[in-house]
Structure 1
Amino acid sequence: MNDKKKEPIWLALFTVLPVSLLWPLGEYFEEQGINQTLVSALLGGLGGLIGFGLYSWTKSKSTKTKIIGIVSILVLGIAIIRIVHTSSVEVLKTCEICGYKAIDKQENECNVCASNTWETEQADKLYDSKLEWLKDEQLFWFAEDDTSFVEFYEPNQIDGFFKDENWRPIINKIDVFEYNKE
């Protein structure tokens, strides 16, 4: 195959690869909907422009240079995806009540048990101590009609939130049984 017949292949590689790498990044910047689609389209268009520019720059270069260009686009695209993904991953705190890693930085409420954090409860001054608050909230959360089914460490995951392996309740099954009798 001569160089003239390979040009459409190089053009496709240089333009489609950046588009396909940048298009999915829209989901990291917008919620589902029309705005996400628009951001994805803009990023894909930007990728196409960058790819076309690189194609134009390497058009008269050797095949080795073109291959280096394609590999560079691929490596750079994957690095950008990893950076964006890593920076957008939420770091969740462990809830002292239920033990799930389900409290994000903005909220002061657990996404699993809906309990407020101690910092929020202190402002209301309903409890004299953190221990009193913690015991009351854990008893409420783990209360069951039949205490033989009380399981502090299961399930390991609820709605995508994982149980923290280092978390320990301050109550036991007997406490829950007595709480249920009241």
Structure 2
Amino acid sequence: MLEGENITLRPVREADLDRLRELDLDLDSRGDYWPLSIMSEVTYRDEFSRTGFWGENFGRLLMIDAKRNIIGEIMYFKTVPYMEEFEIGYRLFGKEHWGKGATTEALQLLTRYLFDSKNINRIRLCIDVENAGSLKVAEKGGYRHEGTMRGCMFHRGRHHDMQLYAITRGELPPA
């Protein structure tokens, strides 16, 4: 587990699977920017059985608030096999959690963990240009804007531009 001031990040447990599956199937809970692809029930449970949603090049952690409620998730994954970097994605499970700093804290916790435990020099975020809240999270989390990836994401019937943000090991502030 990764402990912050207001947020704890922990691995997914078997007891979490039914609730997480409900959230994955509820397209409204994904908001306007989370990918809409859905994994089959069999594949979902098989993936958890094989990996626990955790491996060398990917991981999925739950965001737990001070009241011990699951309020969101954050994950990392390898994007391009020949690059020494990971990408991080995150989402909150409900608008009632927006604007309270939980995602920024989760991003900072996972960023530090990845640099401390993995032989990488860079972590990136890809954020829809219209997702103002996530753009703020990136900047507050210490990530720097690198450019715009034009029309690279198809979501809800149209192509979206994505902002590329990244942080390198040398840019990480001291603990």
Q: Which has the higher helix share?
A: 1
Question: TM-score w.r.t. structure 2 length?
Answer: 0.22
* TM-score, normalised relative to structure 1: 0.21
